[in-house]
């Protein structure tokens, strides 16, 4: 069986700003996968992405993209990386035609025909200044640029934030189409966990600069569950199974880290599947 290659690898990566520290972060993104990078605002997602792209320098640790050390090969690696940020990186007076001229001088693999095809597909006018675009149109413009130099890896920081559900769904379908090619991969940072449940293969969950969970999305969802019980029953639940719990006047809800074991131990208690959003909230609020 052929070994799965990783397009992104971080090993014990740290970056200390004094008031915030990215602390020994390690995770990988397998080739051909969509990796959802989740966490609340300020958790360290953008810092991590900037380190992967070599926009800022790490204090320690190792970062590889396509098997190459980013600090040594960053210029060459960028040819195969498409980047989409929360804010558009083009001057507001620029039109699609202006952007095409600029990108031809930046990327060796720039495909002018593909770019204008994407503009048509996304209903983006080529002669209108992008500063007059809606938020959804600005995101689509960035994606059109990312896809038009034949990138094999898309790195995106909150690309669906602030978009209406129709536009978000359209963008998710674009991402799905992109990874149909087996050597295409996506690292998608988002706090909209519902989008990631639809598309992600892998999940990396960061909080306070530390990785709390990482692995296959379906396995994470299969493993966790919400156990519902009376407050008086809470001491009966094994501490080794509890991530954290919430009490209310109606009883208690407990995030369990092994719902199948909990179902065997507590057959009379209700245990429900836990969506990613609840898993994230319970982990952040533990202790």
pTM: 0.90
Please choose, from the candidates 30, 49, 34, 32, the residue with its C-alpha nearest in 3D space to the C-alpha of residue 206. 49
Q: How many whole angstroms separate alpha carbon 233 and alpha carbon 41?
A: 35
Q: Tell whether the model's pLDDT for residue 2 goes beyond 60.
A: no
Question: pLDDT tens digits for 26-57?
Answer: 999 999 999 999 998 889 999 999 999 999 99
Please give the structure tokens belonging to residue 243: 């991530």
- Whether the per-residue pLDDT at 1 is higher than 50: the answer is no
Say how far apart CA 124 and CA 116 lie, in whole Å. Answer: 9
pLDDT tier, 286 (very low <50, low <70, confident <90, very high otherwise): confident
> According to DSSP H, which parts of the chain are helical?
45-52, 70-77, 96-104, 112-121, 135-147, 165-178, 193-199, 217-223, 259-265, 276-284
Per residue in 64-110, pLDDT (tens digit) is: 999 999 887 777 788 899 998 877 789 999 999 999 999 999 999 99
Confidence of residue 4 (pLDDT cuts 50, 70, 90): low
Tokens matching residue 168: 């978000």
Asked if residue 3 has pLDDT above 70, the reply is: no
- Hey, what CATH topology would domain 6-216 get? Rossmann fold (3.40.50)
pLDDT digits (tens, 9 = 90+) for 258-282: 999 999 999 999 999 999 999 999 9
Per-residue pLDDT for 163 more than 50? yes
CB 52 within 8 A of CB 7: no
pLDDT at 287: 65
**pLDDT for residue 244 is more than 90:** yes
User: Helix crossing, 135-147 with 112-121: angle to 10°?
Assistant: 150
pLDDT tens per residue, range 109-162: 999 999 999 999 989 999 999 999 998 888 889 989 998 998 999 999 888 877
Nearest to 54 by CA among 80, 72, 36, 31: 72
Looking at the chain, how many residues does it have?
A: 287
**Tokens matching residue 277:** 């959003």
Pairwise pLDDT comparison (176 vs 192), residue with the higher score? 176
Tokens representing residue 54 in the block: 């070599």
How far is CA 184 from each of CA 32, 41, 180, 252, rounded to the nearest angstrom? 5, 27, 8, 43
What does the angle CA 36 – CA 224 – CA 207 come to, to the nearest 5 degrees? 45
CB of 143 closer than 8 Å to CB of 176: no
Q: How far apart are CA 209 and CA 23, in angstroms?
A: 6
Q: Please give, one letter per residue, the 3-state secondary structure of 254-278.
A: EEECCHHHHHHHCCCCEEEECCHHH
Calculate what percentage of the chain has a pLDDT beyond 90.
Answer: 71
CA distance 240 to 257: 8
């Amino acid at each position: 069986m052929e070994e799965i290659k990783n397009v992104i690898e971080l090993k014990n990566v740290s970056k200390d700003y004094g008031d915030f520290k990215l602390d020994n972060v390690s995770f990988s993104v397998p080739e051909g996968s969509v990796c959802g990078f989740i966490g609340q605002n300020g958790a360290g997602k953008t810092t991590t992405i900037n380190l992967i792209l070599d926009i800022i320098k790490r204090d320690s640790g190792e970062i590889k993209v396509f098997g190459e050390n980013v600090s040594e090969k960053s210029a060459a690696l960028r040819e195969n990386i498409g980047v989409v940020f929360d804010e558009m990186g083009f001057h507001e007076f620029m039109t699609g035609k202006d952007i095409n001229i600029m990108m031809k001088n930046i990327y060796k693999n720039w495909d002018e025909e593909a770019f204008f095809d994407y503009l048509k597909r996304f209903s983006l006018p080529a002669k209108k200044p992008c500063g007059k675009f809606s938020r959804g149109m600005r995101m689509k413009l960035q994606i059109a640029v990312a896809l038009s130099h034949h990138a094999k890896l898309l790195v995106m920081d909150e690309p669906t934030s602030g978009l209406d559900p129709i536009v978000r769904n359209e963008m998710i379908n674009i991402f799905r189409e992109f990874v149909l090619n087996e050597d295409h991969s996506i690292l998608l940072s988002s706090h909209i966990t519902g989008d990631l449940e639809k598309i992600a293969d892998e999940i990396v969950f960061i909080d306070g600069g530390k990785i709390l969970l990482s692995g296959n999305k379906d396995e994470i969802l299969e493993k966790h569950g919400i156990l519902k019980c009376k407050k008086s029953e809470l001491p009966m639940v094994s501490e080794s199974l509890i991530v954290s719990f919430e009490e209310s006047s109606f009883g208690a809800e407990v995030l369990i880290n092994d719902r199948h074991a909990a179902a065997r131990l507590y057959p009379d208690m209700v245990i429900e599947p836990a969506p990613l959003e609840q898993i994230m909230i319970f982990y952040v609020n533990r202790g």
